[in-house]
Chain A
Amino acid sequence: MNDMIKKVTQLLTDKTIDVFIGYGKGSADRSRAIFVRTAEQAENLVFSANCTQNLAGYLLKHEVKHLGKLGILANVAALRSILQLASEFQIKDGEVLVLFANPDGSFTEFLDFHSIEGYLLTTETGITSGEQERIAALEAMSVSERWTFWNQEFEKCIKCYACRAACPMCYCHRCTTDVNQPQWIPVASHERGNLDYHLMRAMHLAGRCVNCGECANACPMDIPLNLLTYQLISPIKAGFGATAGMKSDAVYALSTYKPDDKENFII
């Protein structure tokens, strides 16, 4: 831990960065994101097994971005978020200082996207076996069962948009949900409004979701939202050979086409 505090203090004092996004102590035994701007604040940094949040979600937030040059403590999901954001032209190489927390507690500094890409190839990036089981269960359902399942889940949604705020890929200044001329997605949290919102969210994250699970973690109503976007990961990989957040210069599977693209998804 002291290594990291020392490193961050130095980065701040020599003005390499203006802010460092890391973990601090939260309520009870939880951790929370903190935004370190001075050497004293650096003392508040913590790191433990509880520190699992994908902090990359803060990188593009207006309030954070405008504080100056950013540094971040990244986990695997955050590394992937950074590459995905890079492929969408939201972060340039070298723009963000990336410290990575190794499983053994030491820290590595990634100097460029290329080294992140190299590291991700050697590490496990997929969804957990528990999540795989839940998706298999969903896929085993008949279409109408699945429809009922999701409608029951969506019924709980209170449209707080915490999922949207937590997702590192939801960085639009103006979400389609907020467009009211015309109002394609009803604002009200009624049956159709909820369904439209969640379908839109899933579609907008298809092939972009880096399976960090922040949306489901953020949801106060415990909706297993992440399963919706996770379920799209393997068909996109099978159909187009693409996985989000593995290459900083990837082209988006759903916005490119080749004459020999498989068309087996067209029913």
Chain B
Amino acid sequence: MSRIGVFVCHCGENISATVNCEKVAKITGELKGVEFSTDYKYMCSDPGQTLLKEAIKEHKLDGVVVAACSPRMHEPTFRKACAEAGLNPFLCEMSNIREHCSWVHPKDDLTTEKAEDLVRVMVEKVKKNKALKSIKVPVTKTALVIGGGIAGIQAALDIANCGHKVIMVEKLPSIGGHMSQLSETFPTLDCSQCILTPRMVEIAQHPNITLHTYSEVESVDGFIGNFKIKIRKKSKSLDEHLCTGCGLCTTKCPQKKIPNEFERGLGFRPAIYVPFPQAVPNKPVIDRENCTYYIKGKCKVCEIVCPTKAIRFDQEDEVIEVEAGAIVMATGFDVLKSDYFPEYGFGKYKDVIDGLQFERLASASGPTQGEIRRPSDGQVPKKIVFVACAGSRDPAKGIEYCSKICCMYTAKHAMLYKHKVHDGTPYVFYMDIRAGGKMYEEFVRRTIVEDGTHYVRGRVSTIYEKNGKLIVKGADTLMGGIPIEIEADMVVLATAGVANKGAEELAQTVHISYDSYKFFAEAHPKLKPVETNTAGIFLAGACQAPKDIPESVAAASGAAVKVAALFSNDELTRDPLVAVVNRQAAPVYSACVGCFLCQSVCPYQAIEREEIKSRSGEIIKTLARVNEGLCQGCGTCVALCRTKAIDIHGYSNQQVYTEIMALLND
């Protein structure tokens, strides 16, 4: 005979406004096996929990049902309280009479009756509950950081400086991300490379960090504390140990006219190349798509000139397997190119460029050595139009959000332009100036007041070329919408920040969720901004939404703390609500027939094979076995197993059946 306690919570008025809580407590108190029942205003409060604990002791309860809010909210609270009173926490269940009852029904007798039903079902379930022991799993104290932009760099350094190992995976030949392409950075105008390069070098030299560039994550298995990751290291056609980074090969390569991605097409590079002078690692890779040898079968000039004989034409991709306890996603973002905009010439006007291209023009190491010269004829533009919100905040373009960084970098661009071309005239077309942030508004004011940038509030409707000039047509909405036409020498579009190509696939590979714009989704927009919904995987930087550098770095440090906190334990404790394969005496051993359909259906690769052997070592039977560390208790295998050989602790067939019967037999 059970001795169950029922505790009905009013949740202030959230429940009691529509459900008669006293009545629920009274009626369910009469159920068979219920020893004690009561109702209370706030069960989760300190006095509420004390009431629960004392009742457990006083009435020697062997099961508890708390009828209150969703178990997602307070199951841990009440299970912990039970444990403190000496009752196995898994003998405590919650009936959700708030979200499932009081919030969705009017004040009515039927609503109270439904609450009674919900409690009754749980009382019957608890009768079948078993005391369970938490599972302990070890933690691999190595973090995987995917993406080597400023966010990934910051997260990796923070984690490594806490004494933990870090594996960094970067898709491109060098780390650095977008920040390495920037000229100077708002709001202080310090040189981007100067503040970034030391950190890139630190990554390469840190004893706790292993860097894999030109590499991508192929698969992620496992779970928090115990991820298993396959990394594809793309062939660089180079023996990195032999290469000294002298760069002779890059000067001799006959392919010289390949559009340079780092310069965003404003310059060229050879087929064997280092993306930029400060690259880490500072060793070349061969771009096989454009290499004469891979195309035509002969050339090998680089091999001939290489003083250390480091070139390896037959090198193949290598797939390595690593283990990590936590993952930080730091794959950043991308910006639209000018070819996205039919109204601005679809990319066919050479002098309509995007913001990143302007960064390259303004950069001392860029294609023009930092002089602002327009791409078409190399002239210094005397009149330049900056178009903010190119694509952003435009439902017609499918981008409804604000890209956040453009107002600031456009102000920066106008300022840099004036610093370099004193007699030039910059115009900025904008919708609103969003300059929230320390020293941001002051920065924009400086552009307007000190540098004399003309800010025009309105969208640019079209741009077209005429007699070597770009005709920019728009309207000034602050002047009653009067049409404006500017004959510009160059136009810079502050194009929307968007998710990377392939972000969706990557999210699926690592099993995290993403939003409708394919940016990675945080677990809670306010309270869990650097966590994902997948335990052990965290977010840093612009892969979550467009972010500027200070924000990316702050998020990265936040993610790093979460990782360090996780690694401060040697073991993780997990709820034992996992699947288990039935075992019984010889000669059957188990109802499992070893069809292993459960193995292919399990989304967490939690099902293993177990061989039952005779004393002489002969295999008698091969059965499924659940790896408790990997199983997430999703129950998919239970549904699939034809012979009902799998069951789930805490949600057993028997418990679910009892619950249904309790409702049907009412």
Residue ranges of A at the interface with B (Cβ–Cβ < 8 Å): 88-90, 171-176, 179, 181-184, 204, 251-252, 254-256, 259
Extra 9 A-B pairs, beta carbons < 8 Å, given A256-B600, A259-B508? A88-B596, A88-B597, A90-B593, A90-B594, A171-B593, A175-B643, A179-B644, A184-B653, A251-B600
Identify which of B598, B643, B657 contacts A255 (C-beta below 8 A): B598
Interface centre among A173, A176, A204 (most CB of B within 10 A): A173
Check if A255 sits within 8 Å of B642, measured CB to CB. Answer: no
In the complex, A182→B128 CA distance in Å? 12
Q: Does B663 contact A (CB under 8 A)?
A: no
A90 vs B658: C-alpha distance when bound (angstroms)? 34
The distance from the CB of B648 to the nearest CB of chain A, in whole angstroms, is 14
Q: How far is the CB of B592 from chain A (nearest CB, A)?
A: 9
By the criterion CB–CB under 8 Å, are A256 and B588 in contact?
Answer: no
Q: How near does chain B come to A203, taking the closest CB pair, in angstroms?
A: 9
8 residue pairs, one from A and one from B, having the closest CB atoms: A182-B657, A255-B601, A172-B643, A88-B595, A255-B597, A174-B591, A255-B600, A204-B642
* Residues of B in contact with A (beta carbons under 8 Å apart): 508, 588, 591, 593-598, 600-601, 622, 640, 642-645, 653-654, 657-658
Are B508 and A176 in touch, CB under 8 angstroms? no
> How far is it, in angstroms, between the C-alpha of A25 and the C-alpha of B600 when the chains are bound?
43
Q: Which residues of B contact A175 (CB under 8 A)?
A: 643
- Complex formed: what's the CA distance from A135 to B591 in Å? 35
Question: Which residues of chain B are within 8 angstroms of A182 by Cβ–Cβ distance?
Answer: 653-654, 657-658
A172 with B593: in contact, given A182-B653, A252-B600 (CB under 8 Å)? yes
Chain B residues with Cβ under 8 A from A259's Cβ?
508
B595 A176 Cβ-Cβ under 8 A: no
**A252 neighbours in B (Cβ, 8 Å):** 597, 600
Are A174's CB and B600's CB within 8 A?
no
Known A173-B643, A182-B658, A254-B640: A89·B622 in contact at CB below 8 Å: yes
A-B contact list, 25 entries, CB within 8 Å: A88-B595, A88-B596, A89-B594, A89-B595, A172-B591, A172-B642, A172-B643, A173-B643, A174-B588, A174-B643, A174-B645, A175-B643, A176-B642, A182-B653, A182-B658, A184-B653, A204-B642, A251-B600, A252-B600, A254-B597, A254-B640, A255-B597, A255-B640, A256-B601, A259-B508
Q: Select which of B593, B597, B640, B657 is within 8 A of A173 by beta carbon.
A: B593
Q: Does A176 lie within 8 Å of B596, measured CB to CB?
A: no
- Contact partners of A254 in chain B: CB under 8 A: 597, 640
CB distance from B590 to the nearest CB of A (A): 9
B594: which A residues are within 8 A, CB to CB? Answer: 89-90
Cα distance A90–B595 in the bound complex, in angstroms = 7
A202 smallest CB distance to B (angstroms) = 12
Which of A89, A181, A254: most chain B CB closer than 10 A? A89
User: What is the bound-complex CA distance between A254 and B596, given in angstroms?
Assistant: 12
Contacts of A183 in B (CB 8 A): 657
Q: B597: which A residues are within 8 A, CB to CB? A: 88, 252, 254-255
Q: In the bound complex, how far is the Cα of B595 from the Cα of A174, in angstroms?
A: 13
Nearest CB of A to B596, in Å: 6
Q: How far, in Å, is A94 (CB) from chain B's closest CB?
A: 16
Query: In the bound complex, how far is the Cα of B588 from the Cα of A184, in angstroms?
Result: 22
Q: How far is the CA of A76 from the CA of B640 in the complex (A)?
A: 28
Tell me the minimal C-beta distance from A125 to chain B in angstroms: 22
A134 to chain B, nearest CB (A): 26
**B640 proximity list for chain A (CB < 8 A):** 254-255
Report the separation of the CA atoms of residues A99 and B508 in the bound assembly, to the nearest whole angstrom: 47
Docked complex Cα distance between A88 and B641 (Å): 12
Q: Which residue of B lies closest to A181 (CB)?
A: B654
Give min CB distance, B614 to chain A, whole Å.
Answer: 14
Chain A nearest Cβ from B645, distance in angstroms: 8
Q: Do B596 and A89 touch across chains, with their CB atoms under 8 A apart?
A: yes
Give the complex CA separation of A173 and B595 in angstroms: 12
Cβ–Cβ < 8 Å partners of B658 in chain A:
182
Rounded to whole angstroms, the CA-CA distance of A171 and B592 in the bound complex is 11
Q: Is the CB of A184 within 8 A of B657?
A: yes
Identify the closest chain A residue to B584 (Cβ).
A174
Q: Are A176 and B600 in contact (CB under 8 A)?
A: no
Q: Please name all residues of chain A whose beta carbon is closer than 8 Å to the beta carbon of B593 when the two chains form the complex.
A: 90, 171-173
Query: B598: which A residues are within 8 A, CB to CB?
Result: 255
Expressed in whole angstroms, the minimum distance between the Cβ of A69 and any Cβ of chain B is 15
Flag if A173 contacts B642 (CB, 8 Å): no
Taking CB as reference atom, which chain A residue is nearest B599? A255
Bound Cα distance from A252 to B640, whole angstroms: 11
User: Residue on A with the closest CB to B128?
Assistant: A182
Q: Output the nearest chain B residue to A251 by Cβ-Cβ distance.
A: B600
Contact A176 B653 (CB under 8 A): no
Q: Which B residue's beta carbon lies closest to that of A252?
A: B597
Give A35 to B409 CA distance when docked, in angstroms: 85
The distance in angstroms between the C-alpha atoms of A254 and B597, with both chains bound, is 9
Residue of B nearest to A88 (CB): B595
Residue from the list B588, B601, B643, B657 in contact with A176, Cβ < 8 A: B643
The answer to whether A176 and B622 touch across the interface, beta carbons within 8 angstroms, is no
**A207–B108 alpha-carbon span in the complex (Å):** 48
Name the residue on A nearest B609 (C-beta).
A89
- CB neighbours (8 Å) of A204 from chain B are 642
Across-interface contacts of B591 in A (CB, < 8 A): 172-174
Shortest C-beta distance, B125 to chain A (Å), equals 12
CA distance A182 to B664 in the complex (A): 15
How many angstroms from the CA of A181 to the CA of B653 in the assembled complex? 8
Q: A178 to chain B: closest CB distance in Å?
A: 9
Task: Tell me which residues across on chain A come within 8 A of B642, comparing CB atoms.
Answer: 172, 176, 204
A179: chain B residues within 8 A (beta carbon): 644
Give chain B residues whose Cβ lies under 8 Å from the Cβ of A251. 600
CA distance A191 to B654 in the complex (A): 24
CA distance A225 to B622 in the complex (A): 32
Residues of B within 8 A of A181 (CB): 654
CB distance from B580 to the nearest CB of A (A): 15
Bound: A173/B644 CA distance, A: 11
* Whole-angstrom CA separation of A90 from B596 in the bound complex: 10
| Bound CA–CA A254/B640 (angstroms) | 9
Residues of chain A with a CB closer than 8 A to B645's CB: 174
Q: Closest residue to A172 on the B side, CB-wise? A: B643
Chain A residues, Cβ within 8 Å of B601: 255-256
Q: How far is B657's CA from A171's CA once the two chains are assembled, in angstroms? A: 25
How far is A263 from B643 in the complex, measured between Cα atoms in Å? 27
Which residues does chain A contribute within 8 Å of B653, judged by CB atoms? Answer: 182, 184
Q: B643: which A residues are within 8 A, CB to CB? A: 172-176
Residues of A within 8 A of B622 (CB): 89
B508: chain A residues at CB < 8 Å are: 259
| Shortest Cβ gap from A185 to chain B (Å) | 10
How far does the alpha carbon of A176 sit from the alpha carbon of B593 in the complex, in Å? 13
Residues of B contacting A90 in the complex (Cβ-Cβ under 8 angstroms): 593-595
**B637 to A, closest residue via Cβ:** A255
Using known A-B contacts A89-B594, A89-B622, determine if residue A173 contacts B600 with beta carbons closer than 8 Å: no
Name the distance in Å between B650's Cβ and chain A's nearest Cβ: 16
CA distance A181 to B654 in the complex (A): 7
Give complex CA distance A59, B508 in Å.
Answer: 42
- How far apart are the CA atoms of A182 and B658 in the complex, in Å? 8
Q: Provide the bound-state CA to CA distance between A251 and B597, in Å.
A: 8
